[in-house]
Amino acid sequence: MRKREASFVFGIDEVGRGPLAGPVVAVALTAPVDYRVSSINYEIRDSKKMSFQQREEIFAILKKHPRVWWGIGRVSERVIDKINIFESTKLAMIRAVKGLEKKTKRQAQQLLIDGNFGIALVRPQQSIIKGDETVYLIKLASIVAKVHRDRLMMRYHQKYPQYGFNQHKGYGTKLHIEMIKRYGPCAIHRRSFAPISRDFL
């Protein structure tokens, strides 16, 4: 008798809805149904509740596993300004799903989405509020998305060192807002977000 193929499920999460600069990044991730990161002595949680070192360690473990796959969707600050951050978040998730399906050459059988909304793909979907705290695949997607975006913002820091992107990753900290007031917005700042939209446009 032919063995039944395991369900092909994607966990999906995003990082970067709130910052004043840089893209929003989404990750769709799949792994074996019984997969757990076992070589660590701390709990896998939502990426925002983990340290930089913990996220980097888990990312390295995931990257080495032959059956853990992910796709990344990125939407730039220019598109965010054009279509708004909510629509950009959904677009990033769609790109992430399509990227993972292309990589694995398989169509997702179910999408587990962190949040209270769906995306415009004809796939079975389940929206889960606080899914990044309760669903393992979404937790892993959250970590990969956070690591990817943080590294991207570190590269932007090399180009725009005056804003301190290496410290706040584009979020609206006191330092960041002070630097925007001092130097004005740069090419990766979101013009539709206050205080930029209020003070500089």
Q: How far apart are the first and last CA of the chain?
A: 67
pLDDT digits (tens, 9 = 90+) for 24-63: 999 999 999 889 998 898 899 889 899 999 999 999 999 9
Structure tokens at 113: 């989405």
Q: What is the DSSP-derived secondary structure letter of residue 21?
A: B
Superfamily of domain 9-152 in CATH is Ribonuclease H-like superfamily/Ribonuclease H (3.30.420.10)
Instruction: State the average pLDDT for the chain.
Output: 94
Q: Model pTM? A: 0.94
The upper half-sphere exposure of residue 76, i.e. CA atoms within 13 Å in the direction of its Cβ, equals: 6
What's the pLDDT at 2? Answer: 37
DSSP 123-152: S-EEEETTHHHH-HHHHHHHHHHHHHHHHH
CB 142 within 8 A of CB 46: yes
Statement: residue 3 has pLDDT above 80: no
Both tokens assigned to 75: 């939407």
Residue 7: per-residue pLDDT: 76
pLDDT at 6 over 60: no
- Quick one: tokens of 138? 């979404």
Alpha helical stretches, state H, the chain = 52-64, 77-83, 85-104, 131-134, 136-159, 165-168, 174-183, 196-199
The pLDDT tens digits of the residues spanning 137-179 come to 999 999 999 999 999 999 999 999 999 999 999 999 999 999 9
Report the C-alpha gap between 76 and 183 in whole angstroms: 21
Instruction: List the domain boundaries for the chain.
Output: 9-152
pLDDT digits (tens, 9 = 90+) for 60-86: 999 999 999 999 999 999 999 999 999
